[in-house]
Structure 1
Amino acid sequence: MRHFLRLCLTLTLLTGALAIAVPASAQSSFGPAIKVNDAVITQYELDQRIRMLRLFRTPGDIPELAAEQLIDDRLRMTAAAQLGISPSEEEIAAGMEEFAGRANLSAEQFLSALQQAGVSAQTFRDFVRAGVAWRETVRARFGPRIQISESEIDRALATGGASGGSVQVLMSEIFLPVEPGTEEETQALAERIRRSNATGFARAAREYSSAPSAGQGGRVNWVPVSNLSPQLRQVILGLRPGQISAPVEVDGQIALFLLRAVEESDTRTPEYAAVEYAAYYIAGGRSEQALAEAARVKARVDTCDDLYGVAKGQPESVLERGTRAPNEVPADIALELAKLDAGEVSTALTRSNGQTLVFLMLCGRSFDLSGAVSREGVALDLQNQRLATYAQGYLQQLRDEARIVRR
């Protein structure tokens, strides 16, 4: 999914196969193709959905699938309206960011790519709006019925978890340095960012964040939840997609996180019992000279052991290496390590009030397979499974009761 857009755009440029002919007559284009109760699906909407699904390289009978999806969307929106649910512009924007984030793009970039392929912004917006409305409808209608007991979690753990899958999250981050005498001002800025939306968060990241991700609007790649420290995991799992966390103090800085998307894979990632990492300290902070030195070191090393050769002849304090339990790792280091695989490097952090650059390398993680499934993850799996079951049954009920007429 993350690379589908680049592939699709390449195919679009190479061939005209994705193009769907729009009837010359505006009357026929915007005339009814399907009626769902009192709601109308126009031929234009159907053509646009077909075009979008082909762009997504969706398998199956695309015209039939497009029609079925649009029928379901009309039923979902009707059900939402009956409960007084109408997604706000901010919720729709967050949903668009969430969907685009699966391709590691911003909503603006995603829309631009769709429009190049002939899919209108309104088509994508309607698609997301129906999904957001349905999610809230299912939660409002069935959420209060779902109570996951400790005994249910125990039983799921005994059989390897609720679904056998692992959860990964797509986040954006902002780190605000706190200088002496600016504590109140920085806290006020953090609160303003917290009350903003995804677009405001990205703008604030570019303007204020001290993290290297600032240039990308704070966006970072997918991170398995099991890689996060227990403290950060609790913060992230408490968010809904599109929601911004409360300010969190992380080693002298104030951090905020925006959850862009949550994804569950079929293979469960075990909880790790300990993490081994090395930190090589380079004088000069984020100066050009220090960053150039970090690049030279990165070119010389493949494993943490190689750093001993780099530090040879220097004071022992320039190289720190150790193995720690997740809750013993400093929060800022833990967050960076969560983004890395063994042998990968981060130069996002500094020490000594910004005067020392941290060349951080993940040596490896050791896993406790006996506790590979967290209780929080199992509870989330069970809740999602039940909501999905309720949603599927409810949608089928709406279909059975609906009057659907195709042209």
Structure 2
Amino acid sequence: MATVTMPVVKGSDTMQPMRHRPCPQFSGRNRAAALLLAGLTVLPLSLTVAGSPAQAQQMQVQRIAAVVNDDAITVRDLEDRMDLLLSASSLPDNPDTRRRLMPRVLQILVEERLKLQEAKRRNITVSDADLDSARQQIESNNRMAPGSLAANMRQKGVNPDTLDKQLRADVAWLKVVQSGLRRQISVEQEEIEAVLSTLRENLGKPQRLLAEIVLPFNDAGEEQQARALAERLGEQMKQGAAFTALARQFSSAPTAAVGGDLGWVPKGELDPELEEAVNALRPGTVSSPVVSGSSLHIILLRDVRETKKLDPAVTPVQISQLFFPARGAAAMPTESRDDIIATAAETAKRCDDINKLSDQLRLPNSGDIGTVKPADLPPAVGTVVAELKENTLSTAIDLPSGTVVVMVCARKDADGLPSREEIERRLENEKLDRLAQRTLRDLRRKALIDIRI
């Protein structure tokens, strides 16, 4: 199952990793869908209750905080989740902290109920084995002895059941995403090539090592709550709280599970408002909250580096070609040759198509040519190949010995550039995260939600 992470419990990330946005990062960055262990908070509520103090307290914690369709969230649920959050973060446990963070806690608990309800509607269940695996992953990530998680939580005054409830919602939602939503997305080769082209173009430009905290909102009221939380997190970072720990607890991006890590991001790759914020930072500093889309973003600039630009003339490429000799038994009329080239340009999408056509036509010096450097090819061919996009057939190139059309199958990029498979996984996870977020917003919009505190 997917990795489940939790901030270190004293004495012993929310999505994996800007997704990655997440988000999965899903950032680099293979940001596969990761389970969020969101930190939640609550304000103890004042309530006049007749009877003994113990009876009053019992009645207080059983009070309904919210109803999501037919499921109730009690004050006890809120308090237990707050205990979990405070035990695993550097935030102070005081009434002011609980008051400021209570709206965020309630929002996430509401979303957990929606996730569980959707899983039930799809006949998706979470087994004891699923929960055991999630707990074991947490212990492994936090270098805890196997089986020690529950005892460790009790030592810190945290009810282990609250973590199990969170894990159950996370695992259920992961199953919804993987089994029900993944089939709705696909990544085309053109998308992968577009990313690779952009990465190559950005070689030689400054890159920034970034991390993020993303706080989503659905309306003006939630935006105000997100700003209040962002201000509180900013105050804690000024007092020494670790950005990574806060990202794991509070961020809703896929990158949360890895402390908000976005990896190395070329200049110009972010949304304009985020680029402006990052450009004003120095390494080691954090931005003020920035609105981008329907979320507040807090960005940490860890480092800046320069990258070496590739020389396309000496970058190895794998190519296939169709060579039409001007003389000999394989020579053909110009009109026939041009018709074949035109048809190939329309129908050939990959080098395999060129290789098959070469076999059918029995053309000499055609098909898979192997890996070469453009500089080692005839100048007229090398110049074209150096700038040719992958899986795109060139125009006809006239040579003294005949005419050739070439397709680049793959380009061996400089160290540091991701493979096509890594880019495909990243794009898939980004699409999946956006679809999951959109699905959750739709569930919230259609639900009957009654907030009672």
Q: Same fold (TM over 0.5)?
A: no
- Which one has a bigger Cα radius of gyration? 2
Q: Which has the higher contact order (CA 8 A, sep 6+)?
A: 2
TM-score, normalised relative to structure 1: 0.44
